[in-house]
Amino acid sequence: MKNDEIAAQSFNESISAKQAFLTGENIARIVKSAELVADSFKKGGKLLIAGNGGSAADAQHLAAEFVNRFEIERPPLPALALTTDSSNITSIGNDYSFDQIFSKQVRALGKSEDVLLAITTSGNSQNILKAVETAEAIGMKVVILTGKGGGLLAGKGDVFINVEAKKTARIQEVHITFCHVVCELVDRMLFQKV
């Protein structure tokens, strides 16, 4: 296969993954996720975001969209990526285990009015699973983004979203689109009432 064919195939796979994801059930899950985040912000809560591997970058990306701005001028919103504090991550990983790098942060920072967005393409990341368990124990709302059937996290959380795609890159491309749409909806719910 030629390079231009590979490039076109990758774009077509991404488009197909998003079209396959675009069902009524998933649209309802996106809206529900945005409602949970908007309600949390209204109550003085915050959004904690944890992602493993490449999903760690998605966590940071989404936190920046909320804290800075997305597409409209509005006040900063309280979102925190649990993937950014290398001192916390390395000390927890060293003193306890890598499985606890997010759960200890959730326990320290999370409150019942907060939301945890947990992102893992496999659904089997132990550090994400433990973060979800900790958030639920605190009484936080939990939104889970997975792929490949959801793994150990299948069906868990207040909103469970799974992307059925074979390649991790395609799953992540749907995940970041989900994140952008949630951000857009939250902005609309809080600042652009119609």
Closest-CA residue to 34 (of 172, 153, 188, 164) = 188
pLDDT band at 193 (very low <50, low <70, confident <90, very high): low
pTM listed for this prediction: 0.95
Question: 75-88 pLDDT, tens per residue?
Answer: 999 999 999 999 99
**Please, what are the domains in the chain?**
3-191 (3.40.50.10490)
Question: 142-162 pLDDT, tens per residue?
Answer: 999 999 999 999 999 999 999
Residue carrying the six token digits 């893992």: 120
Question: 60-112 pLDDT, tens per residue?
Answer: 999 999 999 999 999 999 999 999 999 999 999 999 999 999 999 999 999 99
Put the strands of the sheet holding 47-51 in their side by side order: 79-81, 47-51, 115-119, 141-147, 159-163
Please give the distance of CA 3 from its chain centroid, rounded to a whole number.
Answer: 32
Question: 17-58 pLDDT, tens per residue?
Answer: 999 999 999 999 999 999 999 999 999 999 999 999 999 999
Cβ atoms < 10 Å from Cβ of 147: 26
Tokens of 6: 């590979």
In the prediction, which pLDDT does 192 show?
A: 83
Tokens of 139: 């009484």
Tell me which amino acid residue 34 is: A
